[in-house]
Chain A
């Protein structure tokens, strides 16, 4: 109960911030919440189940293109495009996971990385149809949900917040369910889990598909809310980003993704406003974090202050 109350309070605070702060922050928050949804999906695989994927950009991009291409080519409206994006991410995870999950550890990292690179190259190769590196602008007719334009600050923020809230509450329910216990067991001691009647391959594939659906929904929302899809979203940096957010906020905590995404976003903003060497500053913060709080901020909170933190 306490956990649900904390999560609802966080959602209420985010909603208030988005509605009350000036428009500049409203847009930032919308971006942060979409990226946090992506990171929350990544967290289910990496933080809870211990699947260190280096290829989640392909799920994000699969969702983005599964939503944006029908919008661009056939004028699909936002709602079906969003659903198509979610399905696109899930299917991509199913197809690649079925192969990649035959490996583990470093091999799994490499195989997911290779798949993601292949997908990124495929987007460039079929540039006649995908818009390639330059990408394309989503037709504004497709950027309407329930009759309001997603291009305006407040509706865009509300759409991002709703997506994030849905994802957050679903992931809270998931990690507190029986299957959530299985996920953590696979991370902690896979061999023991196997000898307790758990099929590790099937369970991990299920997690990856859920994680892919999350990432796909985020990718689709990113295209529809910000009006652009392009090949750069399939690049390696979009596989690294959710990992950084999750490590910063706390891997294996439900709220870690949004905390990490928000801090990282404003840290980057701040750093680039005071120095051109902003990447250096960001890197420095990460090094400090890894040295002094390797479990991330909320991982530290869980270890020191509140053990039941989900």
Chain B
């Protein structure tokens, strides 16, 4: 079964997450016709809020977001996983989660919106490690700002708190005032260590912005902000649709068709949930399907012309998988009550280890003191310790007021052996193979994590902490990147500095999959900035066409 009429647009985008929908919005506003094909369904916030409230295991961020069978996503961060299969020495450290539905994974992100440091783009030149990107910080600076305006990012005044990424304009919104718990943590770090705690830049409203309300401190940014005070890709979808972009839900792209010279993409094909196949033609194509699914789609599209997959003459599609695999510890502070969990989840960061000469030896990292409501955890802990009645209630209050959670983002390096392939044994209901990832933590990252463990032990000591619960092994941070790596040499990279594939002149990729290295800050602001730069390139080229 296939559709009678062929769909067509100037630009066809695969994926409606931040990357795809922000490009769609920019192009549609410039009068360019756009079709966005989204594998998952249309969804709405209130159902996710209801699902969250009905969820027994509240820390399960995937819990409120069941997948549809034709666009599956990982059900949880467990190994083995029913969808994202991981193997290798650090299989469990690569249990990334993401969402496949209109608006994408930022339905349950935390809104942390870091710019990378200038050095993050030049790791090879400065420290002899990894690779350089095929662009510099200054190339991206205007698009970082555009992304911050699009999302509504609040952050500190650089004159007072310089985060190391030079800015031409102030943040669109003032920094978020940090919670009492974070204030106490900041004071401790300032007084007792050589380090500092900074205000985290966040896509969270500190005043009404883009017709969305000011943050009310529901402490549920992950998995679902109940009021939309935090940006997510859904808002760029609304804006893009209002500007005339056409979004087609439940459209699972499975094939990228090229001309006989294999230089030009002519169409993409998608399946609907009934396996009906549809062809969509266009002048330009952008794959914005998230790091894992983007590489998977290029590999699935292998045919006689490109037996190793589309855009894969280098053989690097699916290789160089990275993340911010980190360390996590939860403990009970022996100091005064903090009551974490009043206000947003992630607001403050120790940023001293984001850069330094030691980066020639070990990876950089940053530390979050997670401001998470600990009442439920405290209750479970107190019951398991054997308390009942009045004593139980005292314990719950004490533990909820004194539980501290620290976690880190540690820098990975691109290693071609860390590789995504198509599962040979598992397919979804449309017959598309599941993704499989082999992962071995780079020594660079292991050394970085060891350094972090040392720091966490020191901090625990300073807070007179007890009952430490270390998350076993390493902690996946859901920042997968590198699977269609950027570079200047078509022999060892997939896209150029403009995110255009070396192999196909009208095929672009907008995703963390293009990252050449992964730095320390959460990845999405950089994804959005790169995507907006793709939109800029397309606008210019279509204007000249």
A binds B: no
Name B's A-contacting residues (CB within 8 A).
none
Q: Which A residues have a C-beta under 8 Å from some C-beta of B? A: none
